Chain A
Amino acid sequence: MTITERTAGNIRILDVIGSITIGPAGTELLADKVRSLLQQGQRQLIVNLAGVAYMDSAGLGELVHAYATTTRQGGSLKLVNATVRLRDLLTITKLATVFDLYDSENAAIASFASGV
């Protein structure tokens, strides 16, 4: 998994490529990245999942971990471009209602602007 960062105004966008999984030494790349952005004072995050073809339950756990960390610190984390497969997984686990899911990046950016 690789994560690259982009900025759109005050919003930080993380493009995730590859599969989100717990690393060999229990490393949590995404959650760690999110934590460091929060430490830098960043509060508006978008995770772009267009490049994530597969996610297992451990990967979903990490995504939730990143989400919970953000929410606890008063930030908000929105997901865009989730694959059909990930949407299914979120539906089965009933986490779809927990996450803010958007079909496009623009919609997610707009939602920050309107304070949703």
Chain B
Amino acid sequence: MFRLVVTDASGRRAVTVEQLPFSIGRGSDNQLQLTDGQVSRRHAELVEEAGQWKIRDCASRFGVFVNDARVLEANLQPGDRIRVGQSEIRVEENDPQTAASSTVDFRQMNALLAGLRALGSSQVLDEVLVIVLDSALDVAGAERGFILLAQPSGALKLRLARARGGVTLTSAQTSQRIPDEVYATGTDKIVTDLLDDSHALLHAGTVALGIRHVLCTPLRVLQHAAGGSERRIGVLYLDSRERGYLQNVGTLHALATEAAVVIENARLYQEVVERERAAQELRIAAQIQQALLPPPTYSDDLHELAAFTTPCRAVGGDLFDYFPRDDGALTFTVADVAGKGTSAALLTAVVQGLFTAEAETADAPAEVLSRVNRSLCRRSVASRFVTAFYGKLSTDGTLSYCNAGHNAPFLLTARGPLRLDEGGTVLGLFDTGFYENGCVQVASGDVLVMFSDGVTEATNVQGEEFGDERLGSCLEQSRGRTAAGIVAEIQRALSEFCGAAAATDDATVMVVAAR
């Protein structure tokens, strides 16, 4: 048997001559159809006479050339070059040996996959798909190949389209319904001739491209864990304008089976790489968030300040900040954005920016929070709000503050603890929100302890909450300590209380001691 390697306007493809006579022409009823204006409807045919293969001109308009000489009839042997119109056809021995070697050695592919993994390539899946598709095109002798993989939603998505000769197709389409049907049923779909009446209407778009033959086979992996049941991950779809490739269906099945495993491995590996990259980005975000915070300790002649914030995830929705002002006053804030994680962290950065912008003004805390509230309402994100405590400790010992729906801070005085809850409701929900100033006189030795609900709502393994009372008695026990000492004591008490229980919220504490 011979095979013909056809080079025409649409590229290069191999066509196996399965039976004789074998007709060549522009018409769709030919075994080899050439869509070429210089090819006659029925241009030439291959025939066998006394064991000898011949090509015969069927009264074509532009003639048949064998090895550049025009012929009406000529003997053929491997290596001969036939030219009809603009198309060139090389005659080759259809060596089963050659066919076998064109099947991919998947041990090699797995080795390649291992290599790509070792390099940490994030393109593993793309590379594997290229290899699989090119191999399938080789085995089948098809013109175009497609791999569609199932999305998490279950819908198929085109991942790669290739044409023979290693060309990636960017706008090519498969038939709409064949892949879906194959994926749903898990059985092959082979259409030998889309021009058959029963198919032509269903696949009009594909037929318009001259596509006649389609082979679509599911990609499936066996799940050993699930008792050997199979899971379909997508489909391999091949099409062609020629007959002659369907004889390799068995090989193609073997290829699809092996390929599915390799594709699945590559996909899983890529997921790991992507997850790792996302984790890396979160680590960077966490570093940036930490860098946005001021140093955790501060002191001047009148104040000693210490703080900590522990996000329960990589990034958090709590913040503390403080600003020593030129007039000797210290302003400070602790705020908690509703929610946790990345979305809260983004809003936290916005809130911190708003406070920073307000810090330089001499306005009363209620005015500061009113403005922050209005700014947040303008940028409102549905259901997101912020609780905040903002205070200003002047050199004469006056602490003016405003509490916008935040856990009331403790002011530890010689006369006992006070709770500071004057203010208004949470920020970012109502642009008509009204905020009042609280005012209290602070003596030397008094300590202000601000905290977020992540502290009092921290739970232990029994599900109990740390609570206001435990925090209160913890503060009672740390009487006489420095701000840094109190912060350390709260952290110690919290971690002792929580034990092995995982934090479920961001926890923040800021302590300001008046000297």
Contacts and interface: CB of A to CB of B under 8 A. Distances in A.
Interface of A: 22, 26, 28, 31, 56-58, 60-62, 64-65, 68, 92-95, 97-98
Given A22-B383, A31-B383, A95-B426, 16 more contacts: A58-B338, A58-B339, A60-B338, A60-B385, A61-B339, A61-B385, A68-B429, A92-B453, A93-B405, A93-B425, A94-B404, A94-B423, A94-B424, A94-B425, A94-B426, A95-B405
A57 B337 CA distance: 9
19 contacts: A22-B383, A31-B382, A31-B383, A56-B505, A57-B338, A57-B387, A58-B383, A60-B338, A62-B383, A64-B383, A64-B385, A65-B382, A92-B405, A93-B387, A93-B405, A94-B404, A94-B424, A98-B425, A98-B430
Give the residue among B408, B423, B425 with the most A Cβ atoms within 10 A. B425
Contact of B383 (A61, A94, A95): A61
Give the residue among B336, B407, B453 with the most A Cβ atoms within 10 A. B453
B371 interface: no
Nearest to B344: A58
B479 interface: no
Interface in B378-421: 382-385, 387, 404-408
Contacts of B340: 58
Nearest to A62: B383
A92 B420 CA distance: 11
A98 B405 CA distance: 12
Nearest to B435: A94
B474 to A, nearest CB: 19
A28 B430 CA distance: 19
Interface residues of B, number: 23
A31 B384 CA distance: 13
Nearest to A68: B429
Give the residue among A26, A93, A95 with the most B Cβ atoms within 10 A. A93
Nearest to B426: A93
Contact of A92 (B382, B385, B408, B430): B408
Name the 5 nearest CB pairs between A and B, nearest first. Answer: A93-B405, A61-B383, A57-B338, A65-B383, A94-B425
Give the residue among B343, B383, B405, B453 with the most A Cβ atoms within 10 A. B383
A57 B382 CA distance: 13
Nearest to A89: B453
Nearest to A26: B343
Given A57-B338, A61-B339, A28 B425 contact: no
Interface string B218-241: 000000000000000000000000
Interface string B489-512: 000000000000000010000000
Contacts of A97: 425
A9 to B, nearest CB: 30
B429 A57 contact: no
A94 B338 contact: no
B405 A28 contact: no
B193 to A, nearest CB: 46
Contacts of B404: 94
B339 to A, nearest CB: 5
Contacts of A31: 382-383
Contacts of A93: 387, 405, 425-426
A97 B380 CA distance: 21
Contact of B407 (A56, A92, A95): A92
